[in-house]
Structure 1
């Protein structure tokens, strides 16, 4: 019997992209899975748009926050409700390739892997290719991940049957980085990366990844508030992050023709 995969997707005013995202899950060659949609107080037509899917598919479920609470609270609500052996994450504007779960679960079972991630491609808001490819490292230790977030959250999966439910600290931004740090630390084994591209990351104009100064600010909060390091240690680690992100991690992002 195949293992159940729980997929966690927070929603907030996601009407522009959510249908594509849900369809990319429905088209997965792997079964069984459950998709947990967590609405964080949407004020647009998101809930109206997803209702036909809720009516049709018993393995697509909706959870709701009482008030707008942020991505960490939404993800954690989904994690607590998940019943799968594996927990995966997919934001409401990103997409999976049809073989994503099949390739990744087979890889994890073959390699006795607790935490896994893959390469992915970048698209714009209209879904057009940006000719950029984020290449996954083949192995990722806690120490390496501490320097910069090398796991694209849309590709990450952890084995909840072995690790238990690893949750996100309650930070408004970059909480996914902290979750993967906690998962690798709990595993005591490195995360393993798949170099094949299995997903599409949508670059939004107002996203944190598109604003380098916002990225720096929130990364400092990861070190200081999320991990509890002193201000001096957090500043030192930000220096390490600068070096890693702008001189090492940038080499991971290639034009398609350079692969």
Structure 2
């Protein structure tokens, strides 16, 4: 039996503080048939120097360099276009995976015959301390539900590239990952499936967009207007739906957990 391969896409920009730990969480995966594509967006810190030992020690870790600073969307698209794996998944340069993340997801996809899956994840702060909070994955996620708010933590999503092919995203400054999952579910024709187990750690930064309500409105509006090319009226209506979903429905997916 042939073991499916997985391509992991990791954009980097001035990621010297966290990138070693992030790469380490990939190397420590119990599932070993993977390639890690690091896309550097013209970092001017020590990121490239830090990743050199990993590149030398692991032939399945590869570096792609942008010629000019281009943003996360173009960086992810370059990774997707270069990916050779049967499955594609994403890990930002400051987030972490539990060791069983890849194995659990691939086993789940193969067993449940789904094209897109994701999982629950825990929140950590900039120092890596656990915040005693978990974002629970919905068991079943339709395109219509995902359109209301992004229920897929990008560090947890995985899609079947053998079935869905190459799925790239619009060049938006923020929230372009949401468009990838919308496109994947739409192309699949089947809902995404959520694994209830927490398999990843999402790092919260003090200046993160999620803490800025104005940015939340602006960038999500552009998902509807530019990313999905809705009319202005439909985009505004979708934003009212989004705000209701985000603050009164989706917020219930974040629960308290005991520190382990």
Kept in 2: contact 1:2–1:31 (CA 8 A): no
SS in 2 for 1:78: helix
Q: Give the match for residue 37 of structure 1.
A: 38
Residue 131 of structure 1: how far off its partner (Å): 1.1
Distance 1:58 1:180 in 2: 29
Residue 31 of structure 1: how far off its partner (Å): 1.8
Residue 210 of structure 1: how far off its partner (Å): 2.4
Q: Does 1:11 align with 2:22?
A: no
Residue 181 of structure 1: how far off its partner (Å): 0.2
Q: Give the match for residue 101 of structure 2.
A: 100
Residue 74 of structure 1: how far off its partner (Å): 0.2
Please list every run of 5 or more consecutive structure 2 residues that lacks an aligned counterpart in the other structure: none
Q: Cα deviations across residues 25-52 of structure 1 (Å, max 9, x unaligned)?
A: 0000002000000000000000000000
Q: Give the match for residue 113 of structure 1.
A: 114
Distance 2:49 2:105 in 1: 32
Moved more, 213-222 or 38-47: 213-222
Distance 1:206 1:61 in 2: 30
**Normalised TM-score (structure 1):** 0.98
User: Which structure 2 residues correspond to residues 3-152 of structure 1 after superposition, within 5 A?
Assistant: 3-152=4-153
Kept in 2: contact 1:203–1:210 (CA 8 A): no
Q: Give the match for residue 241 of structure 2.
A: 240
Q: Give the match for residue 212 of structure 1.
A: 213
Distance 2:211 2:98 in 1: 23
SS in 1 for 2:155: helix
Please list every run of 5 or more consecutive structure 1 residues that lacks an aligned counterpart in the other structure: none
Distance 1:82 1:248 in 2: 35
Residue 232 of structure 1: how far off its partner (Å): 0.9
Distance 1:151 1:212 in 2: 20
SS in 2 for 1:29: coil
RMSD over aligned Cα atoms: 1.0
Runs of 4+, deviation exceeding 2 Å:
none
Residue 206 of structure 1: how far off its partner (Å): 2.2
Residue 126 of structure 1: how far off its partner (Å): 0.2
Q: Give the match for residue 197 of structure 1.
A: 198
Q: Cα deviations across residues 81-140 of structure 1 (Å, max 9, x unaligned)?
A: 000000000000000000000000000000001000000000000000111110000000
Residue 218 of structure 1: how far off its partner (Å): 0.2
